[in-house]
Amino acid sequence: MNNKVYIETYGCQMNLADSELVMGILKRKGYEITKELDSANVILLNTCSVRENAEEKIFHRLDHLKSIKRGKPSTVIGILGCMAERLRKNLIEEKKIVDVVVGPDEYRRLPEYLDMAFGGEKGIGVKLSRTETYEDIEPYREEGISAWIAVMRGCDKFCSFCVVPFTRGRERSRSLHSIVEEIKKLSDRGFKEVTLLGQNVNSYRDDGHDFADLLAAAARVDKNMRIRFTTSHPQDLSDKLLYTIAEHDNICNYIHLPVQSGSNRILELMNRSYTIEHYLNLIEKARKIIPGLSLSTDIIAGFPTETEEDHQMTLNVMKEIRYDGAFMFKYSPREGTKAYNMVDDVPEEIKLRRLNEIIELQQEISFEINQQLINKEEIILVEGLSKKSDQFYSGRTDTNKVVIIPRYDSIKIGDYVKVKITRVTSATLFGEVV
Protein backbone atom coordinates (compact mmCIF):
# COMPACT_ATOMS: atom_id res chain seq x y z
CA MET A 1 0.00 0.00 0.00
CA ASN A 2 1.22 3.47 -0.84
CA ASN A 3 1.92 6.00 1.85
CA LYS A 4 -0.73 8.68 1.92
CA VAL A 5 0.13 12.16 3.06
CA TYR A 6 -2.23 14.86 4.24
CA ILE A 7 -0.93 18.41 4.69
CA GLU A 8 -2.44 21.43 6.38
CA THR A 9 -0.99 24.87 5.78
CA TYR A 10 -0.94 27.85 8.16
CA GLY A 11 0.68 31.29 7.92
CA CYS A 12 1.68 33.25 4.86
CA GLN A 13 1.63 32.56 1.12
CA MET A 14 5.23 31.44 1.35
CA ASN A 15 4.01 28.49 3.37
CA LEU A 16 1.34 27.71 0.77
CA ALA A 17 4.06 27.64 -1.87
CA ASP A 18 6.26 25.50 0.39
CA SER A 19 3.48 22.98 0.94
CA GLU A 20 3.25 22.52 -2.85
CA LEU A 21 7.00 22.00 -2.86
CA VAL A 22 6.77 19.41 -0.08
CA MET A 23 4.00 17.58 -1.95
CA GLY A 24 6.17 17.65 -5.07
CA ILE A 25 9.07 16.12 -3.16
CA LEU A 26 6.93 13.41 -1.56
CA LYS A 27 5.11 12.60 -4.76
CA ARG A 28 8.40 11.88 -6.50
CA LYS A 29 9.09 9.38 -3.70
CA GLY A 30 5.84 7.57 -4.40
CA TYR A 31 3.60 9.18 -1.81
CA GLU A 32 -0.04 9.75 -2.62
CA ILE A 33 -1.55 13.11 -1.69
CA THR A 34 -4.88 12.93 0.10
CA LYS A 35 -7.34 15.56 1.24
CA GLU A 36 -8.86 13.29 3.82
CA LEU A 37 -7.27 13.33 7.21
CA ASP A 38 -8.68 9.91 8.08
CA SER A 39 -7.17 8.11 5.12
CA ALA A 40 -3.64 9.48 5.66
CA ASN A 41 -0.81 7.64 7.36
CA VAL A 42 1.32 10.81 7.34
CA ILE A 43 -0.15 14.05 8.67
CA LEU A 44 1.89 17.21 8.20
CA LEU A 45 1.22 20.67 9.59
CA ASN A 46 3.10 23.48 7.84
CA THR A 47 3.21 26.06 10.60
CA CYS A 48 3.64 29.76 11.36
CA SER A 49 5.38 31.46 14.30
CA VAL A 50 4.78 35.10 13.48
CA ARG A 51 2.51 35.79 16.44
CA GLU A 52 1.81 33.81 19.57
CA ASN A 53 -1.77 33.00 18.55
CA ALA A 54 -0.48 31.41 15.34
CA GLU A 55 1.46 28.92 17.45
CA GLU A 56 -1.42 28.38 19.87
CA LYS A 57 -3.60 27.34 16.97
CA ILE A 58 -1.13 24.57 16.13
CA PHE A 59 -0.97 23.33 19.71
CA HIS A 60 -4.75 23.05 19.72
CA ARG A 61 -4.63 21.21 16.44
CA LEU A 62 -2.09 18.78 17.86
CA ASP A 63 -4.35 18.09 20.83
CA HIS A 64 -7.05 17.19 18.36
CA LEU A 65 -4.74 14.95 16.33
CA LYS A 66 -3.94 12.99 19.48
CA SER A 67 -7.16 11.03 19.17
CA ILE A 68 -6.30 10.07 15.60
CA LYS A 69 -2.92 8.84 16.69
CA ARG A 70 -4.51 6.90 19.51
CA GLY A 71 -6.86 5.18 17.06
CA LYS A 72 -4.07 4.47 14.56
CA PRO A 73 -0.67 4.58 16.35
CA SER A 74 1.28 4.02 13.14
CA THR A 75 0.23 7.47 11.88
CA VAL A 76 3.24 9.74 11.51
CA ILE A 77 2.71 13.33 12.57
CA GLY A 78 5.10 15.99 11.33
CA ILE A 79 5.58 19.67 11.99
CA LEU A 80 7.03 21.70 9.12
CA GLY A 81 7.64 25.40 8.64
CA CYS A 82 8.47 28.21 10.99
CA MET A 83 7.43 26.59 14.28
CA ALA A 84 9.56 23.58 13.43
CA GLU A 85 12.51 25.89 12.95
CA ARG A 86 11.84 27.94 16.07
CA LEU A 87 10.97 25.23 18.60
CA ARG A 88 13.02 22.34 17.18
CA LYS A 89 13.33 19.34 19.45
CA ASN A 90 11.28 21.04 22.17
CA LEU A 91 8.29 20.26 19.98
CA ILE A 92 8.98 16.56 20.20
CA GLU A 93 9.78 16.68 23.90
CA GLU A 94 6.64 18.60 24.77
CA LYS A 95 4.25 17.06 22.30
CA LYS A 96 4.80 13.33 22.36
CA ILE A 97 2.63 12.75 19.31
CA VAL A 98 5.04 14.65 17.06
CA ASP A 99 7.36 12.29 15.17
CA VAL A 100 9.02 14.60 12.68
CA VAL A 101 10.16 18.23 12.87
CA VAL A 102 11.49 19.72 9.64
CA GLY A 103 12.32 23.40 9.04
CA PRO A 104 11.93 25.39 5.80
CA ASP A 105 15.39 24.67 4.39
CA GLU A 106 15.39 20.90 4.95
CA TYR A 107 12.38 19.77 2.91
CA ARG A 108 14.60 17.95 0.45
CA ARG A 109 15.41 15.46 3.19
CA LEU A 110 11.84 15.13 4.45
CA PRO A 111 11.47 11.62 2.92
CA GLU A 112 14.48 10.45 4.99
CA TYR A 113 13.04 11.89 8.17
CA LEU A 114 9.72 10.22 7.45
CA ASP A 115 11.51 6.90 6.90
CA MET A 116 13.12 7.31 10.30
CA ALA A 117 9.69 7.89 11.81
CA PHE A 118 8.30 4.76 10.10
CA GLY A 119 11.15 2.89 11.80
CA GLY A 120 10.09 4.22 15.18
CA GLU A 121 12.70 6.97 15.49
CA LYS A 122 12.10 10.69 15.69
CA GLY A 123 13.26 12.75 12.70
CA ILE A 124 14.55 16.28 13.18
CA GLY A 125 15.94 18.51 10.43
CA VAL A 126 16.21 22.20 11.20
CA LYS A 127 19.45 23.42 9.60
CA LEU A 128 19.08 26.68 7.74
CA SER A 129 20.85 27.14 4.43
CA ARG A 130 22.40 30.11 2.68
CA THR A 131 21.77 28.64 -0.75
CA GLU A 132 18.70 26.39 -0.79
CA THR A 133 16.02 27.71 -3.17
CA TYR A 134 14.51 24.39 -4.36
CA GLU A 135 14.61 25.76 -7.88
CA ASP A 136 15.07 22.32 -9.44
CA ILE A 137 12.05 20.87 -7.67
CA GLU A 138 8.69 20.84 -9.39
CA PRO A 139 5.94 21.78 -6.95
CA TYR A 140 2.75 19.74 -6.92
CA ARG A 141 -0.03 22.02 -8.13
CA GLU A 142 -3.55 21.04 -8.91
CA GLU A 143 -5.17 22.51 -11.99
CA GLY A 144 -6.18 26.08 -11.29
CA ILE A 145 -6.06 29.70 -12.22
CA SER A 146 -3.64 31.15 -9.74
CA ALA A 147 -0.16 29.98 -8.74
CA TRP A 148 2.48 31.11 -6.25
CA ILE A 149 6.17 31.08 -6.95
CA ALA A 150 8.69 31.79 -4.21
CA VAL A 151 11.35 33.78 -6.05
CA MET A 152 13.48 34.31 -2.98
CA ARG A 153 13.70 32.88 0.50
CA GLY A 154 14.69 34.28 3.87
CA CYS A 155 14.97 37.82 5.13
CA ASP A 156 17.94 40.01 6.14
CA LYS A 157 15.94 42.95 7.45
CA PHE A 158 15.69 41.99 11.11
CA CYS A 159 12.76 44.18 12.03
CA SER A 160 13.00 44.12 15.81
CA PHE A 161 9.58 42.47 16.33
CA CYS A 162 9.89 39.76 13.73
CA VAL A 163 10.77 36.12 14.00
CA VAL A 164 11.01 35.48 10.24
CA PRO A 165 14.78 36.06 9.85
CA PHE A 166 15.28 33.39 12.53
CA THR A 167 12.86 30.87 11.09
CA ARG A 168 13.66 31.41 7.42
CA GLY A 169 17.34 32.31 7.48
CA ARG A 170 19.29 34.59 5.17
CA GLU A 171 18.07 36.02 1.88
CA ARG A 172 18.74 34.10 -1.31
CA SER A 173 17.17 34.25 -4.77
CA ARG A 174 16.19 31.73 -7.39
CA SER A 175 17.57 32.22 -10.88
CA LEU A 176 15.51 34.41 -13.20
CA HIS A 177 15.74 31.77 -15.87
CA SER A 178 14.20 29.03 -13.72
CA ILE A 179 11.34 31.30 -12.68
CA VAL A 180 10.53 32.30 -16.25
CA GLU A 181 10.57 28.62 -17.29
CA GLU A 182 8.14 27.78 -14.49
CA ILE A 183 5.78 30.57 -15.54
CA LYS A 184 5.88 29.24 -19.13
CA LYS A 185 4.81 25.82 -17.93
CA LEU A 186 2.02 27.35 -15.85
CA SER A 187 0.83 29.33 -18.85
CA ASP A 188 0.78 26.15 -20.97
CA ARG A 189 -1.33 24.48 -18.30
CA GLY A 190 -3.86 27.30 -18.45
CA PHE A 191 -2.94 29.26 -15.33
CA LYS A 192 -3.94 32.91 -15.57
CA GLU A 193 -2.18 34.48 -12.63
CA VAL A 194 1.17 34.15 -10.91
CA THR A 195 2.14 35.76 -7.61
CA LEU A 196 5.89 36.14 -7.09
CA LEU A 197 6.68 35.70 -3.41
CA GLY A 198 9.43 36.79 -1.08
CA GLN A 199 9.58 38.26 2.43
CA ASN A 200 11.16 41.25 0.78
CA VAL A 201 10.99 40.90 -2.99
CA ASN A 202 12.86 44.17 -3.58
CA SER A 203 16.01 42.38 -2.48
CA TYR A 204 15.75 39.89 -5.34
CA ARG A 205 19.12 39.53 -7.12
CA ASP A 206 20.29 37.14 -9.79
CA ASP A 207 23.48 37.75 -11.64
CA GLY A 208 22.95 41.47 -12.19
CA HIS A 209 19.18 41.17 -12.55
CA ASP A 210 17.02 42.90 -9.95
CA PHE A 211 13.37 42.43 -9.06
CA ALA A 212 12.18 44.87 -11.72
CA ASP A 213 14.01 42.80 -14.35
CA LEU A 214 12.36 39.66 -13.04
CA LEU A 215 8.90 41.26 -13.09
CA ALA A 216 9.39 42.45 -16.66
CA ALA A 217 10.59 39.01 -17.74
CA ALA A 218 7.64 37.36 -15.98
CA ALA A 219 5.19 39.77 -17.64
CA ARG A 220 6.56 39.00 -21.10
CA VAL A 221 5.91 35.26 -20.85
CA ASP A 222 2.18 35.51 -21.51
CA LYS A 223 0.41 38.86 -21.90
CA ASN A 224 -2.82 37.17 -20.90
CA MET A 225 -1.43 36.20 -17.52
CA ARG A 226 -1.61 38.48 -14.52
CA ILE A 227 1.56 39.01 -12.53
CA ARG A 228 1.35 39.92 -8.84
CA PHE A 229 4.03 40.10 -6.17
CA THR A 230 4.42 40.45 -2.43
CA THR A 231 5.93 41.72 -0.09
CA SER A 232 7.70 44.99 -0.83
CA HIS A 233 9.78 46.76 1.79
CA PRO A 234 9.55 50.57 1.76
CA GLN A 235 13.29 51.00 2.12
CA ASP A 236 14.22 49.74 -1.29
CA LEU A 237 11.21 49.94 -3.59
CA SER A 238 12.95 51.41 -6.63
CA ASP A 239 11.72 53.88 -9.25
CA LYS A 240 12.68 51.30 -11.84
CA LEU A 241 10.22 48.87 -10.24
CA LEU A 242 7.43 51.46 -10.29
CA TYR A 243 8.04 52.22 -13.98
CA THR A 244 8.11 48.51 -14.77
CA ILE A 245 4.69 48.06 -13.17
CA ALA A 246 3.36 51.05 -15.11
CA GLU A 247 4.77 49.82 -18.43
CA HIS A 248 3.25 46.35 -18.40
CA ASP A 249 -0.53 45.99 -18.59
CA ASN A 250 -0.44 42.54 -17.08
CA ILE A 251 1.55 43.50 -13.97
CA CYS A 252 -1.22 44.33 -11.53
CA ASN A 253 -1.54 47.88 -10.25
CA TYR A 254 -1.37 46.79 -6.68
CA ILE A 255 1.40 47.08 -4.09
CA HIS A 256 1.41 45.68 -0.58
CA LEU A 257 3.73 48.04 1.28
CA PRO A 258 3.71 47.46 5.04
CA VAL A 259 4.10 50.68 7.04
CA GLN A 260 3.78 49.07 10.55
CA SER A 261 3.50 52.43 12.36
CA GLY A 262 3.02 56.13 11.66
CA SER A 263 5.51 57.26 14.29
CA ASN A 264 9.17 57.75 13.43
CA ARG A 265 10.19 56.97 16.98
CA ILE A 266 8.42 53.62 16.83
CA LEU A 267 9.67 52.90 13.31
CA GLU A 268 13.19 53.35 14.58
CA LEU A 269 12.60 51.02 17.53
CA MET A 270 11.15 48.55 15.05
CA ASN A 271 14.34 48.80 12.99
CA ARG A 272 12.26 49.48 9.89
CA SER A 273 15.03 51.67 8.38
CA TYR A 274 12.76 54.35 6.86
CA THR A 275 10.99 57.43 8.13
CA ILE A 276 7.35 58.20 7.64
CA GLU A 277 8.38 61.12 5.40
CA HIS A 278 10.28 58.75 3.13
CA TYR A 279 7.29 56.43 3.09
CA LEU A 280 4.82 59.20 2.19
CA ASN A 281 7.08 60.45 -0.60
CA LEU A 282 7.33 56.95 -1.94
CA ILE A 283 3.54 56.59 -2.03
CA GLU A 284 3.16 59.95 -3.74
CA LYS A 285 5.69 58.96 -6.37
CA ALA A 286 4.14 55.53 -6.86
CA ARG A 287 0.69 57.04 -7.38
CA LYS A 288 2.08 59.49 -9.90
CA ILE A 289 3.89 56.81 -11.89
CA ILE A 290 1.09 54.21 -11.68
CA PRO A 291 -2.34 55.85 -12.09
CA GLY A 292 -5.11 53.93 -10.33
CA LEU A 293 -2.62 52.19 -8.04
CA SER A 294 -4.18 50.18 -5.25
CA LEU A 295 -2.29 49.95 -1.96
CA SER A 296 -2.42 47.80 1.12
CA THR A 297 -0.37 47.68 4.28
CA ASP A 298 0.41 45.91 7.54
CA ILE A 299 0.05 47.72 10.86
CA ILE A 300 1.08 46.68 14.37
CA ALA A 301 -0.75 48.18 17.35
CA GLY A 302 0.84 48.42 20.77
CA PHE A 303 4.54 48.02 20.07
CA PRO A 304 6.64 48.57 23.25
CA THR A 305 6.54 52.20 24.49
CA GLU A 306 3.82 53.17 21.98
CA THR A 307 1.99 56.23 23.36
CA GLU A 308 -1.43 57.62 22.48
CA GLU A 309 0.42 60.18 20.39
CA ASP A 310 2.27 57.49 18.42
CA HIS A 311 -1.02 55.69 17.90
CA GLN A 312 -2.64 58.90 16.61
CA MET A 313 0.22 59.25 14.16
CA THR A 314 -0.59 55.81 12.79
CA LEU A 315 -4.25 56.77 12.37
CA ASN A 316 -3.21 60.02 10.69
CA VAL A 317 -0.98 58.24 8.21
CA MET A 318 -3.85 55.89 7.39
CA LYS A 319 -6.12 58.89 6.77
CA GLU A 320 -3.51 60.56 4.64
CA ILE A 321 -2.69 57.55 2.49
CA ARG A 322 -6.14 55.98 2.39
CA TYR A 323 -5.12 52.38 1.80
CA ASP A 324 -7.45 50.11 -0.13
CA GLY A 325 -6.87 47.44 2.50
CA ALA A 326 -4.80 46.54 5.52
CA PHE A 327 -3.72 43.62 7.67
CA MET A 328 -3.75 44.79 11.26
CA PHE A 329 -2.22 43.08 14.28
CA LYS A 330 -1.67 43.43 18.00
CA TYR A 331 2.00 43.36 18.90
CA SER A 332 3.03 39.91 20.04
CA PRO A 333 6.45 39.51 21.72
CA ARG A 334 8.56 36.80 20.07
CA GLU A 335 11.41 35.21 21.95
CA GLY A 336 14.80 35.75 20.35
CA THR A 337 13.86 39.03 18.63
CA LYS A 338 15.31 42.36 19.66
CA ALA A 339 11.96 43.73 20.74
CA TYR A 340 11.56 40.78 23.10
CA ASN A 341 14.09 42.50 25.37
CA MET A 342 12.01 45.67 25.44
CA VAL A 343 9.30 45.82 28.06
CA ASP A 344 5.93 44.86 26.54
CA ASP A 345 4.45 47.83 28.39
CA VAL A 346 1.24 48.60 26.50
CA PRO A 347 -1.50 46.91 28.52
CA GLU A 348 -3.55 44.31 26.69
CA GLU A 349 -6.81 46.29 26.80
CA ILE A 350 -5.10 49.38 25.37
CA LYS A 351 -3.51 47.33 22.58
CA LEU A 352 -6.91 45.93 21.79
CA ARG A 353 -8.59 49.33 21.81
CA ARG A 354 -5.94 50.79 19.52
CA LEU A 355 -6.19 47.82 17.20
CA ASN A 356 -9.96 48.21 17.05
CA GLU A 357 -9.64 51.90 16.24
CA ILE A 358 -7.23 51.02 13.45
CA ILE A 359 -9.56 48.34 12.08
CA GLU A 360 -12.63 50.59 12.24
CA LEU A 361 -10.85 53.43 10.47
CA GLN A 362 -9.61 51.11 7.75
CA GLN A 363 -13.08 49.66 7.22
CA GLU A 364 -14.51 53.15 6.82
CA ILE A 365 -11.82 54.09 4.32
CA SER A 366 -12.13 50.85 2.34
CA PHE A 367 -15.90 51.30 2.20
CA GLU A 368 -15.59 54.88 0.94
CA ILE A 369 -13.05 53.89 -1.70
CA ASN A 370 -15.22 50.99 -2.83
CA GLN A 371 -18.35 53.17 -2.98
CA GLN A 372 -16.66 55.32 -5.59
CA LEU A 373 -16.56 52.25 -7.82
CA ILE A 374 -20.35 51.90 -7.99
CA ASN A 375 -21.54 52.11 -11.62
CA LYS A 376 -17.94 51.88 -12.85
CA GLU A 377 -16.77 49.12 -15.16
CA GLU A 378 -13.96 46.77 -14.19
CA ILE A 379 -12.29 43.79 -15.84
CA ILE A 380 -12.17 40.82 -13.50
CA LEU A 381 -10.47 37.46 -13.73
CA VAL A 382 -13.02 34.81 -12.72
CA GLU A 383 -11.22 32.67 -10.14
CA GLY A 384 -13.88 30.29 -8.91
CA LEU A 385 -17.31 29.89 -7.41
CA SER A 386 -18.30 32.28 -4.66
CA LYS A 387 -17.68 30.80 -1.23
CA LYS A 388 -21.24 31.57 -0.19
CA SER A 389 -23.20 30.25 -3.17
CA ASP A 390 -22.50 28.23 -6.30
CA GLN A 391 -24.93 30.47 -8.18
CA PHE A 392 -22.22 33.16 -8.12
CA TYR A 393 -18.66 33.51 -9.35
CA SER A 394 -15.87 35.20 -7.48
CA GLY A 395 -13.17 37.13 -9.31
CA ARG A 396 -10.68 39.89 -8.71
CA THR A 397 -9.88 43.21 -10.30
CA ASP A 398 -6.37 44.13 -11.34
CA THR A 399 -6.30 46.17 -8.12
CA ASN A 400 -6.90 43.01 -6.05
CA LYS A 401 -10.52 43.66 -5.08
CA VAL A 402 -12.86 40.69 -4.84
CA VAL A 403 -15.94 40.96 -7.08
CA ILE A 404 -18.97 38.66 -6.90
CA ILE A 405 -21.05 38.23 -10.09
CA PRO A 406 -23.99 35.99 -11.02
CA ARG A 407 -22.99 32.73 -12.67
CA TYR A 408 -23.70 32.25 -16.37
CA ASP A 409 -23.00 29.12 -18.40
CA SER A 410 -21.22 31.20 -21.03
CA ILE A 411 -18.60 32.30 -18.50
CA LYS A 412 -15.89 29.89 -17.37
CA ILE A 413 -13.43 30.00 -14.50
CA GLY A 414 -10.28 31.61 -15.88
CA ASP A 415 -12.13 34.06 -18.15
CA TYR A 416 -11.59 37.79 -18.08
CA VAL A 417 -14.99 39.45 -17.84
CA LYS A 418 -16.10 43.07 -18.02
CA VAL A 419 -18.45 43.87 -15.15
CA LYS A 420 -20.30 46.87 -13.79
CA ILE A 421 -20.14 47.35 -10.02
CA THR A 422 -23.60 47.61 -8.47
CA ARG A 423 -23.10 47.30 -4.71
CA VAL A 424 -20.16 47.28 -2.30
CA THR A 425 -19.10 46.52 1.26
CA SER A 426 -15.74 47.41 2.80
CA ALA A 427 -14.38 44.01 1.74
CA THR A 428 -16.29 42.97 -1.38
CA LEU A 429 -17.71 44.38 -4.61
CA PHE A 430 -20.82 43.00 -6.33
CA GLY A 431 -21.32 43.39 -10.04
CA GLU A 432 -23.18 42.50 -13.19
CA VAL A 433 -21.73 41.26 -16.42
CA VAL A 434 -21.68 44.03 -19.03
- Which residues contact ligand F3S by CB under 6 A? 11-12, 14-15, 48-50, 81-82, 163-164, 167-168
**Which residue's beta carbon is nearest to the bound ligand SAH?**
298
Q: Which of residues 70-109 bind ligand SAH (CB under 6 A)?
A: none
CB 18 within 8 A of CB 45: no
CB 165 within 8 A of CB 157: yes
Considering beta carbons, is residue 26 or 50 the nearer one to ligand SAH?
A: 50
Q: How many CB atoms lie within 10 A of CB 427?
A: 12
CA–CA dist 318, 130 (Å, integer): 37
Considering beta carbons, is residue 159 or 219 the nearer one to ligand SF4?
A: 159
Interface pick for ligand SF4 out of 78, 165, 198, 325 (rule CB under 6 A): 165
Size of the site for ligand SF4 (CB under 6 A): 10
Pick the piece of the chain touching ligand SF4 (CB under 6 A) from 14-22, 152-160, 327-335, 355-363: 152-160
Q: Which of residues 184-203 bind ligand SF4 (CB under 6 A)?
A: 199-200
Q: Is 19 in the site for ligand SAH (CB under 6 A)?
A: no
Question: Under DSSP, is residue 425 helix (H, G, I), strand (E, B) or coil?
Answer: coil
Secondary structure letter of residue 247 according to DSSP: H
Interface pick for ligand SAH out of 49, 202, 244, 332 (rule CB under 6 A): 332
Burial degree of 428 (CB within 10 A; 0-12, 13-18, 19+): middle
Q: What are residue 298's DSSP bridge partners?
A: 327
Residue 81, H or E segment: strand 76-81
Length of the chain: 434
Q: Is 325 in the site for ligand SAH (CB under 6 A)?
A: no
CA–CA dist 349, 115 (Å, integer): 48
Considering beta carbons, is residue 21 or 299 the nearer one to ligand SAH?
A: 299
Q: Report, in Å, the least distance between residue 154 CB and ligand SAH.
A: 10
How many Cα atoms are found within 13 Å in the side-chain-facing hemisphere of 313? 20
Considering beta carbons, is residue 51 or 311 the nearer one to ligand SAH?
A: 51
Taking CA atoms, 84 is separated from 6, 114, 128, 183, in Å, by 17, 15, 12, 30
Q: Report, in Å, the least distance between residue 409 CB and ligand F3S.
A: 39
CA–CA dist 276, 317 (Å, integer): 8
Q: Report, in Å, the least distance between residue 332 CB and ligand SAH.
A: 4
Q: Report, in Å, the least distance between residue 163 CB and ligand SF4.
A: 8
| Selection from 412, 396, 414 nearest residue 404 by Cα | 396
Q: Report, in Å, the least distance between residue 105 CB and ligand SAH.
A: 17
Give contact residues for ligand SAH (rule: CB under 6 A). Answer: 50-51, 155, 161-162, 164, 199-200, 231, 233, 258, 260, 298, 300, 329, 331-332, 334
